[in-house]
Structure 1
């Protein structure tokens, strides 16, 4: 396709690039929202994941928060020191520590709910409700597909 000056039009950006741009913009807004609470966007993500699914192990929480197991272990120690989470041995495997939100961690999340809702509403403001649902569905499908590929056995080379 040629433009009016005869040069070739650039290819549209890759979907992966657009997703990364969105993630970067969202992370910037989240970092600004959670900073007054002494948190990072990654710490907020971990706390929110615990609210949704309490009693996770550090490894499970790392996967849900998009960080390495080592990074999550360090983060959990820091959050525990601040009184935002607690850890206790799992009743089924004493070597696994289950992580739960403390009352203080839950209170911080409640304080942040409106601000995070505002960020999400701003992000989605130009989309019709049915397009928001389509977007959410598409993102879940894409994430699940990549996760399945990551855990599928790889053929020998």
Structure 2
């Protein structure tokens, strides 16, 4: 099986995986590999869209360069226009996560694999992550698959 090395590997494309990958890119750590079954924003977007949030609307801006590159109106500008003292369905946050995921997937320094990790093993200080078709190595492995 062929093996490719990356500076970091992130498993999961929900809010946690998105935040992790954005932080890695902002820190200049590249190239990165992102692995997820669907790249649809995790459970926040696929299972919990119609649940009301327990807190008011707050904007998260670590992905400013990505947000600025997306045409207006978009999921972020919709969140910005909301009354921050009210609660809303989580679909608004899910839409924002999907917009950011789709934008990061277009970056040349991010390779994506749609599928599942079959195995991850640590030998010395190097992780080997196996998918159905290929093995990847890294020193930085982030498992962002929810609880």
Q: What TM-score, normalized to structure 1?
A: 0.27
With CA pairs under 8 Å and 6+ residues apart, which has the higher RCO, 1 or 2?
Answer: 2
Q: What TM-score, normalized to structure 2?
A: 0.28
